[in-house]
A and B are shown apart, each in its own frame.
Chain A
Amino acid sequence: MNKAINDFIVRFANVNGTGSASANYLFAKTIFRMGIPVTPKNIFPSNIQGLPTWYEVRVSEKGYLGRREGIDLMVCVNPQSMAQDVNNVKPGGYFMYDSTKKLPDNYLRDDIHYLGVPMMEMSNQAFSDPRKRQLLKNIIYVGALSKLLNMDVEEIKKLIGEQFEGKAQLIEANMVALKLGIDYVEANFEYPLSFHLERRDLIGDKIIVDGNTACGLGAVYGGATVMAWYPITPSTSVAEAFEHYCKEYRIDPETGAHKFAIIQAEDELAAMGMVIGANWNGARAFTATSGPGVSLMNEFLGLAYFAEVPAVLVDVQRAGPSTGMPTRTQQPDLLLAAYASHGDTKHVLLLPSTPRECFDMTAQSFDLAERLQTPIMVMTDLDLGMNDHISEPFHWTDERKYDRGKVLNTEELEHVGRFGRYLDVDGDGIPYRTYPGTHPTKGSFFTRGTSKDEYAAYTEDGAAYKRNMDRLLKKWETAKKLVPLAQLYQKTKQSDVGILFFGTSQFSAEEAKDLLAEEGTFVDAIRIRAFPFGQEVVDFVESHRVIFVIEQNRDGQMRNMMIMEFGTDPSKLIPVLNYDGMPITADSIKNQITNFLNKEKTQHHELSKTAL
């Protein structure tokens, strides 16, 4: 039986569209306010109302924020998924259910405990409005949990007060529901459970927020003025967050004029076209989408690469191919994004792991896009984008200036001599550009996706085409020095075995590293934060005998990119994969690594026997 303090998993089984989300969030946020590391994850269907949805909350005193298998307490208010939910509780765990209706016998297991709370009945007695009955039933179970898990009720009340500020009646009703849950547990069960919460101070100044909000906010801080997008799960809330913060901070209080333009486009092609048009004309513009949208944007991404127009794209990845599993997480768009479009193309990718990095990298992506005059793609995923994560707070300094890149103004054009739009003046592969409307007679040029010479004149001269393609490669080399460095977990090499990961695999990979160490296997680690890879990534790969490449897709896409980009011996890059649509777990990573190393040992043993 789990007797741990601040170390357990609670899963809520709800029906989509019944208002459970805010009750569940209330539960998670209270734990956060109690100073305890907590990771909530939505597991939801591609549906608006009526299908099963789950919310899983992991509490970890040690601060492990990845997903873990094994459910200690299931709160099931969905008869539809009840059979499955009963089975998912780990032996010795608890199953809380709405006992308004008797639990069918076939749901009874000998090895778990049952906590029946007549939520619906209590709610029906206490409240007359049918909609309220439904919503407040959820608060009743939060009340019950608060007692069972030793939650700080004052924090819950404070949060309810914040959520319904100014709506006294609603606050009152919530308080009634909360108390119903508390009283029921006090009267009927022993409490707290063997595993429960104790207030800590492990959060510091951290925040809890989802990655999409962070991306939207990062775009506001990064100076994006034009956003064009097409609705697609799981990226839609990036646009919503951008709009929300624009409305808060970018409307002229006197005139009501907007310092932003948001367009819901007719499709992703148009969204990317608008982004490119706006960037071409000197505004910072971006889009947010997911895999299917990136597929549609391919042609435009090639244009932006070749015509050298800045663009920013936030790809909140979900499981593909095709429509795939639109509400499940994966990292399956790496190859699609990195080499998007026909012809020889390579694109800069940024790989955030936390909301703080979503904010930082989205803001930075505009500087990079304008500096490098090329598309920058911020690759997050559904897990990071749509789930709340504990994160370092957002940071900005007022001294920070936008890097608008190499843009010639009217004055500079007067003195520049003959302007060559695609001329590599500085030797870094990055030419100078001009915005339309800058100078009456100088600096105008024709932007096109066809081959051109250094002065932007159309040409089919093979030598000029090749010079241009080679300069783009030189620019790619420059990009390596500008993108965020990989994070190394050790100052000097400690082991000849390394693990390599990126994005949301970070949390489980770090935990797996600790789990391996507990078993006496010590590994070095690196977290990649961008593509193209910097020298530090090459060095790490070269200096380790075996590198486990941890990623959330079937084909080991990052591994393939490493083989392609620096010709590493494929046999030393061992894929550690997860692609069932759920976030990768530490146990899975640890097991895959241990299995490989054990097999390697046995083989080595066999080989040495053969040699004898």
Chain B
Amino acid sequence: MSYLKPLFRHPKLPKNKLGYTLKEYEGSLSTLCAGCGHDSISAAIVQACFEMSVEPHKVAKISGIGCSSKTPTYFLGNSHGFNSVHGRMPSVATGANMANKDMVYFGVSGDGDSASIGMGQFVHVIRRNLNMVYIVMNNGCYGLTKGQDSATADQGSKSKAGSINPFQAIDLASLAIELGASFVAQSFSGDKQQLVPLIKAAMHHKGFAFLNVVSPCVTFNNNPGSTKSYDYVREHIEATSTLDFVPEMPEIKASYGEGKSTKIALHDGSLLQLNKLETDWDPEDRISAVNALQQARVKHEILTGLLYVNTEWKDLHETLSTHSKPLNKMDESELCPGEENLQAINSGYR
């Protein structure tokens, strides 16, 4: 059961450019377990949308099935949401996006939803470079069915019941880069400082933006020996960079060391300012991004931050040359070839 949050808010809550407070971006009260990493990610989405002054109703939230896929109820209450079928969020998001290119699409999924039952759709939505933000709330287990290992659980990771996962983990971030995702980032639900700017950048990126967010399951996968527990993740996290998202043409901050700062311009003129912590890594070079991930893996580190971005590739609408007017706004005068043409067509079949 979802509860409505009290409507009352402090009258002096800060407002964004649209005159909205954070309240306008919140959703229903979460029914997830207390301390669930997913709730922190929902909060980061709320914060990012608020700070970016996005019209909430111009966002659509689409999810599959699972704990993660429940979260769209808990953010952006004034947006339409669609909790669809297990593992099939990418296709529903693709259809929705084709219907109206003028909205922001958030796809929310989990490790079971994306790396197992939905692997096929995950792979293909990347191939098409659909313009969307795809967030995997990755806890390495199936929460709703009480904690079975998922395909992203690390080999050797210990479950709450004490069994050791014997299988190789699927590394969604590496896979996404490999498949040609045009924006790939990794983060941790407990690191809002990093997560909020990443979400903002992902929303501004025109194309497929993938965020793999490690999000510990407090109930089933937060035990010693688990590699997706809060403690383990905090100890093993390694950031590639700090990121500033600059929505308009920026003043370049001079506080970073020479050669460590990279600027990446997005389609809409906004700018990503990356301050690299890792050396030998170039976020616009796929090989170096995959390399950095693999090296981190060897060192049992979880590499976070923006890993790879490509602003050149066409998104699906560009590939299909769709009209600038959204398809769902067209009526018979624009779509129906009419009586006269039909008569000509008939003649062709005589």
Contacts and interface: CB of A to CB of B under 8 A. Distances in A.
Interface string A437-481: 111110011111110000001111000000000000000000000
B57 A436 contact: yes
Contacts of A460: 1
Interface stretch (B75-83, B145-153, B155-163, B171-179): B75-83
B346 interface: yes
A283 interface: yes
Given A278-B96, A436-B80, A446-B81, A259 B337 contact: no
B73 interface: yes
A278 B345 contact: no
B267 interface: no
Contacts of B317: 261
A231 interface: no
Given A225-B327, A226-B98, A394 B342 contact: yes
Contacts of A441: 57, 78
Nearest to B83: A448
B280 interface: no
Contacts of A401: 332
B334 interface: yes
A258 B121 contact: no
Contact of A207 (B96, B323, B349): B349
B258 to A, nearest CB: 45
A596 interface: no
Interface stretch (A90-98, A181-189, A264-272): A264-272
A435 B349 CA distance: 39
A564 interface: no
Contacts of B96: 277-278, 280-281, 436
Contacts of B57: 436-441, 444
A447 B55 contact: no
Interface stretch (A13-21, A216-224, A489-497, A510-518): A216-224
Nearest to A220: B337
A398 B95 contact: no
B332 A280 contact: no
A260 B90 CA distance: 20
A281 B346 contact: no
Contact of A277 (B81, B94, B330, B335): B94
B141 interface: no
A437 B61 CA distance: 11
A409 to B, nearest CB: 12
Contacts of A271: 91
Interface stretch (B6-14, B99-107, B199-207): B99-107
Nearest to A225: B327
A228 interface: yes
Contact of A436 (B103, B123, B331): B103
B339 A397 contact: yes
Nearest to B343: A393
Interface size class of B (residues with CB under 8 A): 35 or more
B2 interface: yes
Interface string B102-121: 11000000000000000011
A240 to B, nearest CB: 15
B84 interface: yes
A282 B85 contact: no
Interface in A214-254: 217, 220-221, 223, 225-226, 228, 245, 248-250, 252
Contacts of B316: 263
Contact of A225 (B58, B103, B330, B339): B330
B99 A281 contact: yes
Contacts of B219: none
Contact of A269 (B72, B80, B88, B331): B88
A400 interface: yes
A303 B84 contact: yes
A274 B342 contact: no
Contacts of B103: 436-437
A105 to B, nearest CB: 46
B56 interface: yes
B92 interface: yes
B22 to A, nearest CB: 15
Given A282-B100, A396-B342, A447 B78 contact: no
Contacts of B335: 220, 223, 225, 250, 259
Nearest to B4: A457
A250 B62 CA distance: 29
Contacts of B92: 273-274, 276-277, 280
Contact of A266 (B124, B328, B346): B124
Nearest to A275: B95
Given A258-B320, A261-B327, A281-B328, A440 B99 contact: no
Interface string A390-418: 00011111101110000000000000000
A300 interface: yes
Contacts of B120: 266-267, 269-270
Nearest to A214: B349
Contact of B328 (A207, A228, A248, A435): A435
A252 B323 contact: yes
A208 interface: yes
Nearest to B73: A446
A459 B1 contact: yes
B334 A259 contact: yes
A281 B100 contact: yes
Given A266-B120, A444-B77, A447-B83, A259 B339 contact: no
B99 A285 contact: yes
A491 to B, nearest CB: 31
B85 A277 contact: no
A262 interface: yes
Contacts of A250: 335, 337
B245 to A, nearest CB: 24
A269 B327 contact: no
Contact of B342 (A221, A261, A266, A436): A221
15 contacts: A207-B350, A208-B349, A209-B349, A228-B94, A257-B322, A257-B323, A257-B324, A265-B124, A271-B91, A276-B95, A278-B99, A281-B328, A283-B99, A393-B349, A446-B73
The 7 closest A-B pairs by CB, nearest first: A277-B95, A273-B91, A283-B99, A436-B80, A274-B95, A278-B95, A282-B328
Given A283-B328, A437-B102, A445-B81, 17 more contacts: A225-B330, A226-B327, A245-B337, A249-B341, A259-B334, A270-B91, A270-B121, A274-B92, A274-B94, A277-B97, A282-B100, A396-B338, A436-B60, A437-B103, A446-B81, A447-B82, A449-B84
